Structure 1
Amino acid sequence: MRIVFAVVMALFVNHSFAKSIADVRIDGLLLMQPSKAFNIIGFKQGQQYDSDNVYSAINALFASGYFSDIQVYEENDVLIFDVVERPAIGDLTIEGNDLIATEDLEKGLKFSGLVVGETYKPDTINQIEQELQRQYFSQGRYSADVDIDVTPLPRNRVAVAIKIEEGDTAKIVHVNIVGNNSFSDEELTKNFLSVETGFFNPFSSADEYSKPKLQGDLDTLKSFYLDRGYLDYTLESSQVSISPDKRDVYIVINLNEGQPYNIGQLSLSGALPIDEDRVWKHIDHNTGDVFSRTQITRIIENISTELGDEGYLFTNVNIIPTKHDDLTVDLAYQISPGPKVYVRRINFKGNSETRDEVLRREMTQFEGSLATHSKIEASKRAIQRLGFFGAVDLQTQRVPGTSDQVDLVVSVEEQASGSIQASVGYSETNGTVLGFGVSKRNFLGTGNKLSFSANRTNQTQNYVLSYDNPYFTVDGVSRGYSVFYKTSDHDEDDVEDYDLDEIGASVSFGYPISDTQRLAFGATIKETGIDLGSNPSNETKDYIEEYGDSYNDLIANVTWTDSDLVGGLLPVDGYSTKLAFDVATPVGDQSYYKVALNSQRYWGLNESYLYLFRLKGRLGYGAGYGDTDRLPFFENYFAGGSRTVRGFSSSSLGPKNSYSDSTDTSAIGGNILLAGTAEFIFPMPMVEDHKSVRTSIFLDAGNVFTDYCYSGNTTCEEGIDFSEVRFSLGFNWTWITPIAPLSFNFAKALNSKTGDTTDFFQFQLGTTF
């Protein structure tokens, strides 16, 4: 006999009894496994049940979210649950999303259960719709709209289509600060990330509203007041108003400044394991100074570092301020050094290509020794200087069960350290370029550098094979070899009319003299041959007539380098200086020397190192000695082009040669080089990978000069004339491609003179400037 559930329930209520069941059956299951459904309802054969049990089972089934309808009835002592399952998701599409990657959205949807094959749950759809809307609202896109369409499909399935209109980011029209009596709105908002929209920032995103950006500005505002002694500063409220069209945002910040405090008494407490004077030297504020939170934070860091260098790696430095009615604040520094800490083990993570020993030999912090802050930081810096890794992180992990041991975990992120290149291209300097090269700065993960290149242009052929081992000995002595062959035909360029062939080999040894400095000694054996063209200059013919056209030279060189650059091919911090002295020894056919100084320095203008300032300088001088009275013309320095003064044609600046006829003169170079660059580096809008793309505005200056002029050249002047220094202003875009660095320059020559040739656009492949 079939009894409707409502009637059964009525009987239970009226008679209030429990009944045993012979069996339980669940009808209507298509997607859910029966075992799972039975676990949800909890009924078993022979179990007694009443109305409360049935209600609980029904609620549990509905709560699972898999069913849209449930009927319960009894038939021949069998309790039957007749269910209607919600449809399964048969298709899922996402349209209109640009700001949030589709892969990221799919991961989030899968986590929420919205994935093909899962059960369609309306509540989940509503939650996802609201969350996506919230995500766009947090980015200031209040006009964004998220619409989720659900379309029935055959076999109890549905198609879910998420359609997104991201809209435009609302612009900040006005930022109003209320309650500021001591400082103007301009002073308080100077370092805000949220900037009022205006005519002069159409390409900037600073005027686009976002909630995280506003929160950062509120923190900046608090720091502003705390750094000026306003300890009672409070943020009363912040309101954001949106225009009816959801495009304009008005921000109102209400604050209470309070009064500035000066520092009163200073005290120091704690079980100090070092002399107090070593701590007091870092406390550089005095009684009567204005309180500054930034200064105190720096003092705490310096004290922690001071004790960390003695092995007290987990020193706790707390400051307790005591405010007084006379607007003074006493500062009590409390120091808890804890025990000395030793490094048990050093572990490396992320170096899938680079061998552990390459990292380990850079470590100045050793296993089994006292852990010191300065050695850990020096180790991190040394690994960064390798240039093999995009990111380096060192963390200390306490060893369980001990209070005086830590493990040091060095996590690195490998980046490309080599390339295989086969290219066909065009250079503004050399015309058609054909090249093949293999270069590996981290050969087989050993840290050694191996490279081979073969390049051919309209004027040159250049072949170089080199190998360098930076740790030829365990003490860090390096050894390098190279062989080269170069042939040049200058008949078609703007320099001279001659052919030059060079073949040679070199060997060098480098010795570390500090963490950043090295001294290298080397020797090069080189054979040079010159074949004059049909119309060489007087300067070239004069040298050939005096010294011949074939030379075998032994060149000794000494090089000192000091480099602390961080960031690989596109540094973001540090400096590098290189001083090189090359001398062609008297045992060869020529006697000359060259001294070159190259230096550069980067300054980060913000914590993210996206805004940088760079200075770079090059100085060069060469001269003959003994039987050679001048620097050979093919060893001259040249200026103009991508490497020196952009905006001027490559190798076009400096002294000009002379001819017996009326042939137009060209640059012959000089034995003196002066060049410098000032550069402001900033991130390109809409570019995410700032590690491989860089943009900058630069000011270049430089020229070459000579202290030896051919007697018949009336236009040549000896010595340095600073009025002849050329300047250019321009824009640079550099991209580190998988093949090689690619650099584009747009430069305007600022003081070109008669005889100069200029190029507004120049590009360079293979090196960075």
Structure 2
Amino acid sequence: MNKSLLSFLIAGLFATPALAFEPFAVKDIRVEGIQRTEAGTVFSYLPVKVGDTLTDEKAAQSIKALFATGFFKDVRLEIDRDVMVVVVQERPAVAKLDFVGLKEFDKDVIVKALKDTGIAEGRIFDRALLEKAEQELKRQYLTRGKYGVNITTTVTPLERNRVGINFNIEEGVAAKIRQINFVGAKSFSDKELLSQFELTTPGWLTWYSKSDQYSRQKLSADLEKLKSFYMNQGYLEFNVESTQVSISPDKQDVFITVNVVEGERYQVSSVKLAGEFSVSEDELRNLVKVKAGDVFSRERLNESTKAISERLGKEGYAFANVNAAPEIDKEKRKVAFTIFVDPGKRVYVRRVNVTGNTKTRDEVVRREVRQMEGGWYDAERVTASKQRLDRLGYFTEVVVDTPAVPGTADQIDVNLAVVEKPTGNLMLGVGTSSTDKVILSGSISQNNFLGSGNNVSVQVNSAKSYRTYAFSYTNPYFTQDGVSQGFDIYHRTVNTSSTAIAYYTSSSTGGGIRFGFPIGEKESLGIGLGLDSTNITTTSDSPKYYQDFVDKFGNRNLSLPVTLNWASDSKDNYFFPTKGTYQRAGIELALPGGDLKYYRANYQLQHFIPLNSKFTIMLNGELGYANGYGGMELPFFKNFYAGGVGSVRGYKASSLGTPWNGTEYHVGGNRRVIANAELLWGFPGMEKTFRMGWFFDAGQVYQTDEKFDLGQLRYSTGLSAAWISPMGPLKFSFGRPLNKSSTDKAEAFQFQMGTTF
């Protein structure tokens, strides 16, 4: 066989071939040496086809094209008569990736990161890419502060020209920030400056927050906070000159040094308004929070320009441009500002678009929107729309965007993107007591039934002490203008033998219908009418005034209660509010015509005060008063009670007030006062789902013949936690009474739990 060999090296592709041959017509092409690669794949990359004339140039192009695929580490051409033979040596493929000692990261996260570098199961193995993958793996560990990580890579050949890659990882421990130093800071102590930083030295919560581990991004954010802090204190020329980050030789400790130049402290000499005003200048000037003689504050200046911009937005100027230009007098350390106002063109809303509501109907979302299509843009109405959607409790997130309509100068769209969450609530409880044995309780409620925005709930409680079967339905938009309508049906039995309440039993069956009327953007008025039939049973163990009431008015009573409620809600969030006020006042009146005549009035005021971005103070106050009228007494089963979750934590439920006749049992009272103060903060990293609090509670109930004496208030303090868990909302409290009497019953740990579906 007359066979000539042509061997082409990459280095000689662009040179004159050393072994030339006479061009010939290719009658066939044969591929040798392939194990995994299909012959058709090789043919697809060759620039030579059967019937073509093979020349030196085309032979060089063929070798170059096959090398360029990255599939082969060696390629050569042979000629057997008029047949072109392509002889290849394949690169191995990655069969599997193994990790030994991987604890800090989930394996899938690392596999994805390595895939981005080119190393993944099924791909062609390239040692150069393996080195790149090692560096990427080390980079991942450096982001977690593990500077001493050691990675050893082993490549093991496998059958069918494959390899296995093993990463042996010695993670080590994360380096901790041991010290943060400030050089050049004279006006403030290191403690004050460190309070502006998220990065910190190790503390009791840093094991979770990881804030004691260095991060370049976190340091940059902290330096910006530091700059804002100084500029809010008047240091207009403050600057961070440099930062140094050093690691100890054992790679366990990190030291950060921040070099700053404070500059001089400036006062505001004057503030002027200039430009075009679409509203009165006096009104805009009242929005300016920076006054002549004040120490300069960038925060107050930004608040001023933002307030002016929002005021213009209320008039339809969605793209108003408001900027403050400074004039600095370094000798006198004064700064004057001219706020230039350019309202731009007035725009109107073309469309309101809703996305993300896969279950909730469009009309349920749109009826909460206060910005109308075709009307002038109003920033205040857009903000109110978002707040109303947030308060529905149907969505985990509501994002509002107002893009300009392409090709127009006076139109925008309002895009509402919502993220739905489960709105059903399944509350289940199982407990035991010496009298009730096993207690089963539960309730099912759906705040957004079938996406209609209607509320449906069913409550079942099988406890001997409080047994309840109830059904409720509410349509919040019974009419298009926001009048709500609902009804309730219930059957309840009470047996106080296993509670802190003096003994009696009752059985109540009834129902009612109610309506709600919006009387303002954040206010509503409710009215309801019910029918209740209650059967009371007392024994010789019951308090005498229980027995006297039954003797006087009978053990079966029919009442016609009418309720009137007023509510105002300006809280910024449904679950975890940080600012705003909630008020509620109501009265329940048993109408003449029934067997009972009484009234119960209550008032609640709740206020949230943000201290900063992390802490909020909640203040809550409640007053209740009840009595009979028309010559009738207040039914004892309509008394107020206090103690437990929702009133004074740390005391057992319904255990406050003067005990009956020197016993350990309580009868409640016709007056109640409750006060709560709580410092709230989000748990680091879980601010939207977990919140903690330090509370101070006070409260008491007073009987009809008792003097209203605030000196009788009971106090408690402790820690609380609220968690929107995957199972549903959970609330915990650990309270300690501060002035417990011998007749009070303490209960340190209290909780509520439920499951969301």
- Summarize the Cα distance change of 1:351–1:426 in structure 2 as closer, same or farther, 3 Å threshold: farther
CA distance in 2, matches of 1:284, 1:94: 59
The residue number in structure 1 matching 2:222 is 217
Following superposition, the deviation at residue 81 of structure 1 comes to 4.7
- Summarize the Cα distance change of 1:678–1:92 in structure 2 as closer, same or farther, 3 Å threshold: same
The residue number in structure 1 matching 2:161 is 156
Q: In structure 1, what residue type is equivalent to 2:593?
A: V
- Summarize the Cα distance change of 1:164–1:374 in structure 2 as closer, same or farther, 3 Å threshold: farther
The residue number in structure 2 matching 1:3 is 5
Q: In structure 1, what residue type is equivalent to 2:376?
A: L
Following superposition, the deviation at residue 266 of structure 1 comes to 4.2
The residue number in structure 1 matching 2:700 is 703
The reply to whether residue 363 of structure 1 matches residue 369 of structure 2 is: yes
CA distance in 1, matches of 2:459, 2:508: 16
The residue number in structure 2 matching 1:759 is 747
How many aligned residue pairs are there? 749
Unpaired runs of at least 5, structure 2:
none
| 2:283 aligned counterpart, secondary structure | helix
The residue number in structure 1 matching 2:522 is 516
Question: Which of 235, 242, 249 is equivalent to 2:247?
Answer: 242
Instruction: Work out whether residues 426 and 754 of structure 2, in 8 Å CA contact, stay in contact via their aligned partners in 1.
Output: no
CA deviations 1:622-659 (Å, max 9, x no partner) are 1111121x321111111122222221122111021128
| 1:119 aligned counterpart, secondary structure | coil
Q: TM-score, normalised by structure 2?
A: 0.91
Following superposition, the deviation at residue 96 of structure 1 comes to 5.0
After TM superposition, the structure 1 = structure 2 runs for residues 493-572 of structure 1, keeping only pairs within 5 Å, are 493-572=499-578
Instruction: Work out whether residues 8 and 63 of structure 2, in 8 Å CA contact, stay in contact via their aligned partners in 1.
Output: no
The residue number in structure 2 matching 1:670 is 669
| 1:305 aligned counterpart, secondary structure | helix
After TM superposition, the structure 1 = structure 2 runs for residues 652-667 of structure 1, keeping only pairs within 5 Å, are 652-658=655-661, 664-667=663-666
Following superposition, the deviation at residue 312 of structure 1 comes to 0.9
The residue number in structure 1 matching 2:190 is 185
| 2:500 aligned counterpart, secondary structure | coil
The residue number in structure 1 matching 2:90 is 85
- Summarize the Cα distance change of 1:569–1:270 in structure 2 as closer, same or farther, 3 Å threshold: closer
Question: Which of 282, 290, 295 is equivalent to 2:287?
Answer: 282
Which stretch shifts more, 343-352 or 249-258?
Answer: 249-258
Question: Which of 377, 388, 400 is equivalent to 2:383?
Answer: 377
CA distance in 1, matches of 2:539, 2:668: 18
Instruction: Work out whether residues 494 and 506 of structure 2, in 8 Å CA contact, stay in contact via their aligned partners in 1.
Output: yes
| 1:306 aligned counterpart, secondary structure | helix
- Summarize the Cα distance change of 1:632–1:113 in structure 2 as closer, same or farther, 3 Å threshold: same
Question: Which of 645, 650, 655 is equivalent to 2:653?
Answer: 650
CA deviations 1:520-572 (Å, max 9, x no partner) are 01111101111113511222112222222111001111000112334434444
CA distance in 1, matches of 2:38, 2:374: 58
Unpaired runs of at least 5, structure 1:
709-717
- Summarize the Cα distance change of 1:430–1:98 in structure 2 as closer, same or farther, 3 Å threshold: farther
- Summarize the Cα distance change of 1:615–1:433 in structure 2 as closer, same or farther, 3 Å threshold: farther
CA deviations 1:158-216 (Å, max 9, x no partner) are 23344555443322111111122333323322221122336897776443332222221
Question: Which of 463, 475, 485 is equivalent to 2:469?
Answer: 463
CA deviations 1:273-327 (Å, max 9, x no partner) are 3333333333332445433222222122112111111111011223333444434
Which stretch shifts more, 156-165 or 722-731?
Answer: 156-165
CA distance in 1, matches of 2:102, 2:602: 54
| 2:660 aligned counterpart, secondary structure | coil
Following superposition, the deviation at residue 2 of structure 1 comes to 2.6
**Could you say what the CA RMSD is over the residues aligned between the two structures, in angstroms?**
3.2
- Summarize the Cα distance change of 1:665–1:267 in structure 2 as closer, same or farther, 3 Å threshold: closer
The residue number in structure 2 matching 1:612 is 616
Following superposition, the deviation at residue 666 of structure 1 comes to 1.0
Question: Which of 424, 428, 447 is equivalent to 2:453?
Answer: 447
- Summarize the Cα distance change of 1:257–1:162 in structure 2 as closer, same or farther, 3 Å threshold: same
CA distance in 1, matches of 2:334, 2:405: 44
| 1:475 aligned counterpart, secondary structure | coil
Instruction: Work out whether residues 385 and 564 of structure 1, in 8 Å CA contact, stay in contact via their aligned partners in 2.
Output: no
- Summarize the Cα distance change of 1:521–1:514 in structure 2 as closer, same or farther, 3 Å threshold: same
Following superposition, the deviation at residue 362 of structure 1 comes to 0.5
Instruction: Work out whether residues 517 and 526 of structure 2, in 8 Å CA contact, stay in contact via their aligned partners in 1.
Output: yes
Instruction: Work out whether residues 139 and 211 of structure 1, in 8 Å CA contact, stay in contact via their aligned partners in 2.
Output: no
Q: In structure 2, what residue type is equivalent to 1:400?
A: P
Instruction: Work out whether residues 484 and 505 of structure 1, in 8 Å CA contact, stay in contact via their aligned partners in 2.
Output: yes
Following superposition, the deviation at residue 409 of structure 1 comes to 0.9
The residue number in structure 1 matching 2:733 is 745
CA distance in 1, matches of 2:739, 2:513: 43
State, as a whole percentage, how many aligned pairs show the same letter.
36
Which stretch shifts more, 270-279 or 668-677?
Answer: 270-279
Instruction: Work out whether residues 425 and 754 of structure 2, in 8 Å CA contact, stay in contact via their aligned partners in 1.
Output: no
| 1:746 aligned counterpart, secondary structure | strand
- Summarize the Cα distance change of 1:482–1:428 in structure 2 as closer, same or farther, 3 Å threshold: farther
CA deviations 1:469-514 (Å, max 9, x no partner) are 1100001001110011001122232212221101111111110011
Instruction: Work out whether residues 641 and 701 of structure 2, in 8 Å CA contact, stay in contact via their aligned partners in 1.
Output: yes
- Summarize the Cα distance change of 1:549–1:259 in structure 2 as closer, same or farther, 3 Å threshold: same
- Summarize the Cα distance change of 1:616–1:129 in structure 2 as closer, same or farther, 3 Å threshold: farther
Following superposition, the deviation at residue 224 of structure 1 comes to 2.2
The residue number in structure 1 matching 2:71 is 66
The reply to whether residue 730 of structure 1 matches residue 718 of structure 2 is: yes
Following superposition, the deviation at residue 141 of structure 1 comes to 2.3
Question: Which of 410, 418, 423 is equivalent to 1:404?
Answer: 410
The residue number in structure 2 matching 1:711 is none
Question: Which of 177, 188, 211 is equivalent to 1:172?
Answer: 177
Which stretch shifts more, 66-75 or 469-478?
Answer: 66-75
Which stretch shifts more, 731-740 or 39-48?
Answer: 39-48
| 1:703 aligned counterpart, secondary structure | strand
Following superposition, the deviation at residue 359 of structure 1 comes to 0.6
Instruction: Work out whether residues 387 and 568 of structure 1, in 8 Å CA contact, stay in contact via their aligned partners in 2.
Output: yes
Following superposition, the deviation at residue 459 of structure 1 comes to 1.6
- Summarize the Cα distance change of 1:759–1:170 in structure 2 as closer, same or farther, 3 Å threshold: same
Following superposition, the deviation at residue 33 of structure 1 comes to 5.4
- Summarize the Cα distance change of 1:679–1:160 in structure 2 as closer, same or farther, 3 Å threshold: farther
- Summarize the Cα distance change of 1:432–1:244 in structure 2 as closer, same or farther, 3 Å threshold: farther
Instruction: Work out whether residues 114 and 137 of structure 2, in 8 Å CA contact, stay in contact via their aligned partners in 1.
Output: no
- Summarize the Cα distance change of 1:188–1:37 in structure 2 as closer, same or farther, 3 Å threshold: farther
Following superposition, the deviation at residue 110 of structure 1 comes to 4.1
Question: Which of 266, 285, 297 is equivalent to 1:292?
Answer: 297
| 1:379 aligned counterpart, secondary structure | helix
CA distance in 1, matches of 2:154, 2:554: 86
Q: In structure 2, what residue type is equivalent to 1:646?
A: R
Instruction: Work out whether residues 329 and 335 of structure 2, in 8 Å CA contact, stay in contact via their aligned partners in 1.
Output: yes
CA distance in 2, matches of 1:90, 1:429: 66
The residue number in structure 1 matching 2:199 is 194
Q: In structure 1, what residue type is equivalent to 2:313?
A: G
CA distance in 2, matches of 1:10, 1:63: 13
Instruction: Work out whether residues 74 and 89 of structure 2, in 8 Å CA contact, stay in contact via their aligned partners in 1.
Output: yes
Instruction: Work out whether residues 419 and 739 of structure 1, in 8 Å CA contact, stay in contact via their aligned partners in 2.
Output: no
Following superposition, the deviation at residue 588 of structure 1 comes to 1.2
Instruction: Work out whether residues 539 and 658 of structure 1, in 8 Å CA contact, stay in contact via their aligned partners in 2.
Output: no
CA deviations 1:394-449 (Å, max 9, x no partner) are 10122121111112110111111113566544589977331343311001111110
Instruction: Work out whether residues 5 and 74 of structure 1, in 8 Å CA contact, stay in contact via their aligned partners in 2.
Output: no
Following superposition, the deviation at residue 704 of structure 1 comes to 0.9
CA distance in 1, matches of 2:85, 2:276: 76
CA distance in 1, matches of 2:207, 2:727: 35
CA distance in 1, matches of 2:435, 2:679: 26
| 2:403 aligned counterpart, secondary structure | strand
| 1:658 aligned counterpart, secondary structure | helix
- Summarize the Cα distance change of 1:93–1:631 in structure 2 as closer, same or farther, 3 Å threshold: farther
